[in-house]
Amino acid sequence: MLTTRTNRLDPSLIPEEALAQLAKVFAVPDHVALIDAQGNRTHIPEALFAHFARIVRLMSEKKAIVMVPEDEAFTTQAAANYLGMSRQYFVGLLEKGEIAFHRVGTHRRVTFKDLLAYERRRDQTRRAAMDKLTDEVIKAGLYFPDSDPAPQP
């Protein structure tokens, strides 16, 4: 199970000056390389650079970072908290088959990647519903009325 203590990067552990310097370095893409004790230089791949840059930016804004592997197993309560819903509602989603889960003894566990997949599907469904509603409002002429309503006396 994930422990916040071992997976949390706290900005208070790095001097502000060091974070400020790192933020400047990571502000310019493709200008960062790793150099080991023997002087060997290694270029940081773009995908990794983007993550490092975001971590440095957030930490320089005094925000802590928690790293979660995709295969990390969440309890139903932790997963419900992550999605912002009650545990009972979340368990209902599991039982309906909307989110994959496995059992550890009698307890349900959900991987972080399955939570992310559900979150993406839910957000796409919400966006599609809002787009449809917006289209209906525009077709009804209520979004951009042809004329301003008459001023009230």
pLDDT tens digits, one per residue of 9-31: 888 888 989 988 988 888 887 77
Q: Is the pLDDT of residue 146 over 80?
A: no
Give the pair of three-digit tokens for residue 65.
């970072």
For the chain, give every domain's residue range. 4-66, 73-139
**C-alpha radius of gyration, the chain, whole number:** 24
Q: pLDDT tens digit string along 30-52?
A: 778 889 999 999 988 888 888 99
Give the pair of three-digit tokens for residue 2.
């994930």
DSSP state of 35: E
Mean model confidence pLDDT for the chain = 88
Question: pTM here?
Answer: 0.67
Query: What share of the chain in percent tops pLDDT 70?
Result: 90
In which band, very low, low, confident or very high, does the pLDDT at 97 lie, cut at 50, 70 and 90?
A: very high
